[in-house]
Chain A
């Protein structure tokens, strides 16, 4: 069949070669785009942040700034906006400290297997709220959780919640206590704050529109 075929459309050799070429081309294209994407999503530096150079994934020191999520007319989606200085746990982190805290946060996120209940950047499990913009969630910002946990700041409230979610539950479906230490909880808060500053091309859309309607104050348009 291989050689004595008259039509190319029924020639195995033709299809084998085409398959190899198409696959090869797809792989090359993917490689090129991967190089470009890696360049665009590498973590920014403190210098870039200070000079207002936007990075899709900003420097860890972004945790020293106020972050909001606003509609961008040009891009037609909501984007994170990095504002004035806003200390975390009443402290300004040096690039090295911020880096270490973020590292510990990401490590805690994996070691406690948060991904098998929550989504982050929309990927993971669907048993609990998406954590991409958790730092900006109205419940942390409108006083609900702060007063419930008897805290002064939202980061303090988050730490208390993460260390003891069972005591501060708001729904029948509770988050369990995962044996998170204070240090780990603080690192998780830094990780979540940093994540909220990642440019996700507008996901989630109209973030917490509901609470704007309810006058809760939000970061959506």
Chain B
């Protein structure tokens, strides 16, 4: 790839390693998604060889892992710049990267070639834990915890030594919670209700609390970096965001406790708090646009050049603001009240929300961070979008939005026919699966998945060549 000589700090070189693996795994995620989507349309495709559960498992695991890689990469990238110090103990961090990458490779190979095992704790330890998103076998869980401890040591020791900016205060506290939550998913129980209770602590308290706060923090960093936003304003907003995100998101966990055997009081609690969850997402949206407008206003008034120092990163950041609000805020709110959720629970509607939310809230901003790292790698003042940047953004966002709309239609049909009319059950399920609206929607989802994948190829191509394009002048 590119030479890393322009990067000022050692940890930023490590960040590039993390980002590289993240981008590769993103591609793997999309390929697996396409296989899974094809299996909906042609059930005999890879039947008995690479069944739906395997393609789906690799699809969502690759997603979680690439996002964690990109998050760690983002921290290694911004940490020395924020603290003003080279990261402490980085040689352990470098070893941890290789250990983690080796572990991930082994886990994926075992998923693909061994897939499942006999009913024995050995399967849970070495093959597959059989719990959605956190299927990774127990040995890998422990390895991940060890690596994360090293990473956290890097972050904490550097934080102690250097400048303690507001962004770093938030990040250091947030990463601690994020890592600690993973432990909630590392036990076996016969009680499926208790199983799911704690499983949601990992899933929900990640994506709707700690990951969101993480996004708030790196969006703050990115705004300062890209458009020179005023730090005081960014950090004040950040604390307000933390207040609202944790204030609503932590108890919003209740929206997953309506039907899993847990008491009825979660209806009210889940409905109340999770309904508030979109509020901070609106605030984050407003914040990005406000700061952008503000800085642009300033420079326009002074007759200067646009304050935009990295337009691809800014485009992805704006997409994040919109996508987070739409996917998590709007699509989440659609089904968060128990009166609605009793019908939509576990339908394609959930999948529609899951896609737009994960893409809008996380894939976007992490891609933006990668562009910021590329700027550091090239070592130039301004990065401008190329045609490829624009096309990749158009294809990926249209593709994901298209998939979401298709799945929303499928989910709507499923909710009405399978759930409301027929009341669920084996026959009801298949009657709804085989109606034309549903089948067509699955077709569109596949088509839009292909569009997304083309966008991904353009994205990678752009990432590899944007540096040359800048030198030649866009």
The chain A residues found within 8 Å of chain B, CB to CB, are: 1, 10-12, 15-16, 18-19, 22-23, 26-27, 29-30, 33-34, 36-38, 40-43, 56-57, 60, 75, 99, 102-104, 106-117, 119-130, 133-134, 137-139, 166, 170-174, 176-179, 181, 184, 187, 195, 198-211, 220
In this assembly, does B267 line the interface, its C-beta being within 8 Å of a C-beta of chain A? yes
Known: A22-B246, A116-B132. 5 other contacts (CB 8 A): A56-B263, A173-B43, A173-B430, A205-B424, A210-B423
In this assembly, does B120 line the interface, its C-beta being within 8 Å of a C-beta of chain A? yes
Alpha-carbon distance A15/B423, docked complex (angstroms): 48
Inter-chain contact B119/A30, CB cutoff 8 Å: no
Binds A, one of B22-30, B123-131, B218-226, B374-382: B123-131
- B197: chain A residues at CB < 8 Å are 34, 37-38, 41
**Given A112-B116, A207-B423, A210-B421, are A202 and B193 also a contact pair (CB < 8 Å)?**
no
- B121: chain A residues at CB < 8 Å are 107
Residue of A nearest to B237 (CB): A15
Residue of A nearest to B338 (CB): A201
In this assembly, does B117 line the interface, its C-beta being within 8 Å of a C-beta of chain A? yes
Inter-chain contact B242/A107, CB cutoff 8 Å: no
Alpha-carbon distance A38/B429, docked complex (angstroms): 32
**Given A19-B239, A206-B423, are A122 and B351 also a contact pair (CB < 8 Å)?**
no
- A209: chain B residues at CB < 8 Å are 421-423, 428
In this assembly, does B196 line the interface, its C-beta being within 8 Å of a C-beta of chain A? yes
B306 CB → nearest A CB, Å: 26
Inter-chain contact B342/A127, CB cutoff 8 Å: no
**Given A107-B121, A202-B342, are A129 and B135 also a contact pair (CB < 8 Å)?**
no
Alpha-carbon distance A99/B426, docked complex (angstroms): 28
Inter-chain contact B192/A195, CB cutoff 8 Å: yes
Residue of B nearest to A106 (CB): B190
**Given A30-B253, A137-B426, are A201 and B264 also a contact pair (CB < 8 Å)?**
yes
- B130: chain A residues at CB < 8 Å are 109-115
- Scan B424-444; emit 1 where CB is below 8 A from any A CB, else 0: 111111110100000000000
**Given A110-B131, A121-B196, A173-B433, are A16 and B346 also a contact pair (CB < 8 Å)?**
no
Inter-chain contact B347/A126, CB cutoff 8 Å: yes
Inter-chain contact B190/A115, CB cutoff 8 Å: no
Inter-chain contact B247/A23, CB cutoff 8 Å: yes
Chain B interface: which size bin? 35 or more
Alpha-carbon distance A47/B343, docked complex (angstroms): 35
In this assembly, does B2 line the interface, its C-beta being within 8 Å of a C-beta of chain A? no
B321 CB → nearest A CB, Å: 20
- B473: chain A residues at CB < 8 Å are none
Residue of B nearest to A127 (CB): B52
Alpha-carbon distance A115/B262, docked complex (angstroms): 20
In this assembly, does B118 line the interface, its C-beta being within 8 Å of a C-beta of chain A? yes
- B266: chain A residues at CB < 8 Å are 33, 37
B33 CB → nearest A CB, Å: 13
Alpha-carbon distance A198/B194, docked complex (angstroms): 12
Which of A26, A41, A106 lies in contact with B262, CB distance below 8 A? A41
Residue of A nearest to B47 (CB): A176
In this assembly, does B251 line the interface, its C-beta being within 8 Å of a C-beta of chain A? yes
- B236: chain A residues at CB < 8 Å are 10-12, 15
Alpha-carbon distance A33/B342, docked complex (angstroms): 22
In this assembly, does B269 line the interface, its C-beta being within 8 Å of a C-beta of chain A? yes
- B129: chain A residues at CB < 8 Å are 110
Q: B237-276: which have CB < 8 Å to A?
A: 239-240, 242-243, 246-247, 250-251, 253, 256-267, 269
In this assembly, does B160 line the interface, its C-beta being within 8 Å of a C-beta of chain A? no
A-B contact pairs, 26 of them (CB 8 A): A10-B236, A16-B239, A26-B251, A30-B253, A110-B131, A111-B123, A113-B128, A116-B56, A121-B259, A121-B261, A122-B260, A123-B196, A123-B260, A123-B346, A127-B40, A174-B43, A174-B47, A176-B48, A177-B48, A198-B261, A203-B345, A205-B419, A206-B423, A207-B425, A208-B428, A210-B422
Inter-chain contact A15/B240, CB cutoff 8 Å: yes
- B120: chain A residues at CB < 8 Å are 107, 111
B446 CB → nearest A CB, Å: 14
**Given A12-B166, A23-B250, A120-B192, are A115 and B424 also a contact pair (CB < 8 Å)?**
no
